[in-house]
Amino acid sequence: MKRFAKLTRRAPSGLLDYHRRWPLRLVMVATLIFLYAPVVALMAFSFNDSKRNIVWHGFTLKYYEKLFANTELMQAFANSLTIAFFSTLISVLLGTLAAIALWRFKFPGQRLYEGVMAMPIVIPEICMGIAMMAFMARTGWPQDLIWPLNLGAIMIAHVAFSFPFAAIVIRARLESFNRQLADAARDLGASEFHVFRDILFPHLSPALLAGGLLAFTLSLDDFVITFFTSGPNSVTFPVKIYSMVRFSVTPEVNAASTILIAMTIGLTAIGLRLHYRSQFQETAK
């Protein structure tokens, strides 16, 4: 395969091979620099042996050490992971139920429901955040519960915006399900529960994982909605970073951001990979 790729690369550029003409390559490189240079700089300066983010003074890991010694930040990180874990679990559960209901049954207002379900994806986050804050205040959601119950409000908000993503991924996977498989299982004596456990669930599992990773990532790095729903005792990692930035952008903030970026990219990559692989598997047959 590799040798073949080399051969094709040397072939003369065709009519539609835009990416192989230098002006377009230039635009592409410029775009990538514009988009990612700040992020790369931020990550690089988290290893900079200096208090300021301007001049490179040599490599160090001391800001990472400081970071792990910062109990407030570590508490915020633990909060974030806890919220992400539970909101993911609930999102995937709700997403699965919604996707199966939409796929399996025909009911009046089905299209409307499908549209409304996806609303949190398009509603501006700031509006969602304010709405959540108003909702929590109005319902008198208790603020002073013990950990991790004090994170309940944030979890609810996170489920509200991440479950549609899970539902959409799972719904897409259901489309490729051969319903004759379920009929065949029933024909062999399987009950509805058996059909779900033995046939539908194995088919859905890549989508459940992909949807879950997506929900986890969304929850982990959400700032706006969390900002409006968090109290003084329920600060998350992104909210904590924000409060640190208000004093000054120290390399410590860079280090914290780097960790967040790495986790987000890693999880998203795994999630998308699983999602696409599960789709291609079906079309290949």
* Binding-site ranges for other proteins (CB under 8 A): 178, 180-181, 183-191, 194, 198-199, 202-203, 285
- Least Å distance, CB 44 to other proteins, is 45
CB-nearer residue toward other proteins: 31 or 191: 191
Residue 264 CA, distance from chain mean position: 7
CB-nearer residue toward other proteins: 102 or 199: 199
- Calculate Rg over the CA atoms of the chain: 23
For 48, phi then psi, to 5°, come to -85, 135
- 220 with 277: CB under 8 angstroms? no
- Least Å distance, CB 208 to other proteins, is 14
- Least Å distance, CB 21 to other proteins, is 40
d(CA 182, CA 100): 14
Residue 120 CA, distance from chain mean position: 14
User: Which pairs with CB-CB distance under 8 Å and at least 24 residues apart come from 264-269?
Assistant: 264/217, 264/220, 264/221, 267/213, 267/216, 267/217, 267/220, 268/213, 268/214, 268/217
- Least Å distance, CB 280 to other proteins, is 12
CB-nearer residue toward other proteins: 171 or 203: 203
CB-nearer residue toward other proteins: 167 or 185: 185
CB-nearer residue toward other proteins: 144 or 187: 187
- Least Å distance, CB 174 to other proteins, is 15
CB-nearer residue toward other proteins: 23 or 202: 202
d(CA 206, CA 203): 7
- Least Å distance, CB 1 to other proteins, is 21
- 254 with 63: CB under 8 angstroms? yes
Token pair in block for residue 278: 């599960």
d(CA 85, CA 83): 5
d(CA 90, CA 70): 30
CB-nearer residue toward other proteins: 66 or 194: 194
- Least Å distance, CB 180 to other proteins, is 4
